[in-house]
A and B are shown apart, each in its own frame.
Chain A
Amino acid sequence: MVTLQDYESKVPNAWCPGCGNFGILRAVKKALVELELEPWQVLFVSGIGQAPKLPHYTRGNVFNGLHGRTLPAATGAKVANRDLVVIGIDGDGGAYGEGVQHLLATARRNVNLTYLVHNNQVYGLTKGQASPTSELGFITKTTPLGAIQPLNPLMLALASDLSFLARGFAAEIDHLAGLIKAGIQHHGFALVDILQPCVSFNRVNTFAWYKQRVYKLDESYNPADKAAALLKAQEWGDKIPIGVIYKQERAVYEETLPQLKDLPLLKQPIEPTKIEKLMDEF
């Protein structure tokens, strides 16, 4: 029986007191426990920033790589060993700025990964510069004239025909844990965009700001309806929806590979003489 205790880490935490990341961390642990996954079965892949430190604050296999390059590393690991439950973790800088091309490509490929993006609309680790999702005009040390038009990551992901899209809120831990669970259980690539207040550098999008605006999608909403999803993905301002925004079944990349039909790549023996026949072609 897996318990929360299995996911307790001894590594000292470096996040700011009151950070939205704490709620996300609790939701991740809760989801993994409820799915009865043991830490050795899970691989966390993350990049650089405050959010990507999360794997150190729980337990599992960890590949904490480069800024923005989480999804390629996660894809390589998943194709190498499809038995791993692979969870990518990044902030909005890595996911929607430095590595945005990988988000599009991974969504198109539909690799069976879950990608959690802690979206606090600001750069925390480098101390308060604008991010790709900062509000228009958001003034920071690198954008004294105000941030440029923000990116809508949900629309971008939908344009890449991703197969699972959800948005959660760091203060709604049980709800968020449910979204993370649904993402892990989804057959294909799942993006969970998580609204995360930054208590140090974002005085605009605070806990109070979100609490006034966030609402949960209910059963009347059909996440299989892409046209509806495109509208929900654009809803921002007075009301911000959270929940599963879009979901579809389509071919999963690694399942289309004939090389993986019988055994995970990792389990296939190395036999040099196997290619003897190939030499006949020269």
Chain B
Amino acid sequence: MASEFNIMVGGEAGQGVQSVGAILAGSLGRAGFYVFADQDYESRVRGGHNFFRVRAKTDNVQSISPAIDLLLALNKETIDLHEKELKSGGIAVYDAEETKFSPDKGIFLHIPLLKLAVEKAGNKLMVNTVAAGAALGLAGLDFEILSAVLAKEYGRHGEQTVKDNVTAARAGYDFALSSGRKLTLPRAQPAQNSNLILSGNEALCLGAMAAGCKFVAGYPMTPSSAILEYIADKGREYGTVMIHVEDEIAAMNMAVGAGYAGVRSMVATSGGGFALMVEGLALAGMTETPVVVVLGQRPGPATGLPTRTEQAELFFALHAGHGEFPRAVFAPADAADAFNATVKAFNLAEKYQTPVLILTDNHLATSYYTVDRFDLSRVKIDRGNLVYTDDPNYKRHLVTDSGISPRALPGQGRALVVTDSDEHDEAGHMIEDAATRKAQVGKRLRKLNELKHEITEPEFHKADGAGVTLVGWGSTYGAIFEAAALLKEDGKPVNTLHFCQLWPFPAEAAAAALGQAAKNIVVEGNATSQLSALIKRETGKQVNNAILKFDGRPFSPEEIVERLRKEVEAW
């Protein structure tokens, strides 16, 4: 029996593809499946072609699958584009009146979605809920589960809205049952109620709020707008201020100002916005001000493919900023990692009084993952060397062995807190002399020595008899991991090595892992293989091959396996 079930919902922007997808993902999650869902949409508000894929599995899943069991086509284009992705025995549901499509093959099933919405629920806007009901009817999911998800989803709009949606879902569900067609849903474990289904962005927001982030400034940009929106909304009750500012330059300088004044602060943007923030990043380095920067990558250069994914800003994140200053760069693998890395980012930023970057991408930011509920009692807060002093001789940039100076906050004690983007002396006043310059540069860079001891090591999985190690970073984790599982089933085991922190680079652990198999093959979402170059630079090791992807779409495990066979010699 199959262990997974894949649904794709497709239609135009504005047709509610995402809301149907969210209901399906929520219902399958509640039924006890691990769910992974991703979205593919264009940079437009209406029209075009969008789809939302939900993959439900009986064990952990963190990547997409190209083969679908159920295609829910809200328009004809969805059928044309995705019919071929249906597995044998799969069903494509469509509304003949809407799609003007008369099928001649057995995989198609006409369900009058719009007619049911109008006749049963009295509102054509309910068509999406009818569609969700029809899909889950075909899959044979218990209707009570769907009904509970609708209550949660629409509860804030009032009882009547919930009732109308349940009626609409029931209409679609019953129609599907009476059609005589059926799909086989694998058997899931009883509901794992402690699981959360949430996006990478949402996990990151929870991490930031758990870590005590109190200030966020931002200018909307895909894929990070959702971070700004979530914090603007929830922050009102939970004590985090989000300011929608005039541009990303303001965002960064505001966050640095807030960090100087003593609250944990963050900015969230994408490549173009980060380009505008870069001068401010260096300011944080120079003034030794903690700030957390979320860089959600999308394909560039310039505006690129605004709603799609890429991993081409690794070097940008590592090197952004004029001059030399310490930083840490995280690249979370999945939603759970996004939560944990964000908490760690805030601690390191304050402990080392320097900027910390979190490098995500559109795929991680907007995909939905199933994770264990976060254990907040285990979130540790380390604010570093914060001091409260009245010392008239207090020196904000005191030269110390570790490079870390006691950090007083302005107005919290009579000590004056002086800092400058010009090179400064220990007291923070601008200077010109060579000796002070050397002392301050040395002090700032010395912070890296200790920071290096706090690296999150790469995750290495060794497989018996592996001739190859697949190497990746960031959001490709799930696809690489599953590709390795597929290869193992196929009798070709591979090791996997995955980096979720890229700076300071864990050179020793990397070098050791890279010596474990005859070949090392990097898998990453860019055209020039930046990770290969970084590995070479930091360990001296040349990887053998790179499987690269820069079409704006995420890797699937199957694609990695297939390209390994095609592109890698003597595989």
Contact = CB atoms under 8 A, between A and B. Distances in A.
Interface of A: 11, 38-41, 43, 45, 48, 53, 55-56, 59-66, 69, 71-81, 83-84, 101-102, 104-105, 257-260, 265-266, 268, 270-276, 278-279, 282
Contacts of A260: 241
B215 A258 contact: no
- Place the interface of chain B in its size category: 35 or more
B481 interface: no
A48 B421 CA distance: 9
For chain A, what secondary structure do more than half of its interface residues adopt (helix, strand, loop), or is it mixed?
A: helix
A257 B250 CA distance: 19
B411 A61 contact: yes
Contact of B210 (A63, A66, A272): A272
B376 A276 contact: yes
B202 interface: yes
Contacts of A266: 214, 261-263, 409, 412
B420 A62 contact: yes
A77 B376 contact: no
B250 A72 contact: yes
29 contacts: A40-B410, A40-B414, A53-B430, A55-B418, A56-B420, A61-B410, A63-B419, A64-B419, A65-B253, A65-B283, A66-B279, A69-B250, A69-B279, A69-B283, A72-B254, A75-B243, A76-B254, A76-B265, A77-B261, A79-B215, A81-B262, A81-B409, A265-B214, A265-B239, A266-B262, A268-B214, A272-B212, A272-B379, A278-B209
The 9 tightest CB contacts between A and B, nearest first, are A76-B257, A270-B212, A73-B257, A61-B410, A76-B258, A80-B261, A72-B253, A272-B379, A76-B254
Contacts of B412: 266
B238 A278 contact: yes
B422 interface: yes
Contacts of B211: 270, 272
Contact of A282 (B197, B212, B257, B411): B197
B88 interface: no
Interface string B208-252: 011110110100000000000000001111111101011101111
B421 A64 contact: yes
A75 B258 CA distance: 8
Nearest to A56: B429
A282 B30 CA distance: 11
B162 to A, nearest CB: 16
Most-contacted residue by chain A among B215, B239, B262, B374 (CB, 10 A)? B239
B240 to A, nearest CB: 7
Given A53-B430, A66-B283, A275-B238, A72 B261 contact: no
Nearest to A12: B429
Nearest to A43: B410
Given A72-B251, A265-B263, A271-B212, 7 more contacts: A56-B420, A64-B422, A65-B283, A66-B421, A259-B241, A265-B258, A279-B206
Contacts of B262: 80-81, 266
B178 interface: no
Contact of A76 (B217, B249, B409): B217
Contacts of A268: 214, 239
A84 B287 CA distance: 19
A72 B217 CA distance: 10
A213 B410 CA distance: 41
Contacts of A76: 215, 217, 253-261, 265
B348 interface: no
A75 B257 contact: yes
Contacts of B419: 62-64
A58 B180 CA distance: 85
B47 interface: no
Interface of B: 196-198, 202, 206, 209-212, 214-215, 217, 234-241, 243, 245-247, 249-265, 279-280, 283, 287, 373-374, 376-377, 379, 381, 409-422, 428-430
Given A62-B428, A279-B206, A79 B258 contact: yes
Given A265-B214, A272-B381, A64 B420 contact: yes
Given A80-B263, A266-B409, A62 B416 contact: yes
B416 A59 contact: yes
Contacts of A257: 241
B285 to A, nearest CB: 12
Contact of B376 (A63, A69, A83, A275): A275
Given A53-B430, A62-B420, A275-B210, A72 B411 contact: no
Contacts of A66: 253, 279-280, 283, 421
A275 B430 contact: no
Contacts of A259: 214, 235-236, 239-241
A77 B254 CA distance: 7
B236 A258 contact: yes
B261 A279 contact: no
Given A76-B258, A81-B262, A266-B412, A279 B212 contact: no
B23 to A, nearest CB: 14
B416 A41 contact: no
Most-contacted residue by chain B among A55, A69, A271 (CB, 10 A)? A69
Most-contacted residue by chain B among A43, A76, A77, A105 (CB, 10 A)? A76
A254 B206 CA distance: 24
B421 A77 contact: no
Most-contacted residue by chain B among A38, A40, A41, A83 (CB, 10 A)? A40
Contacts of A38: 414
Nearest to A266: B262
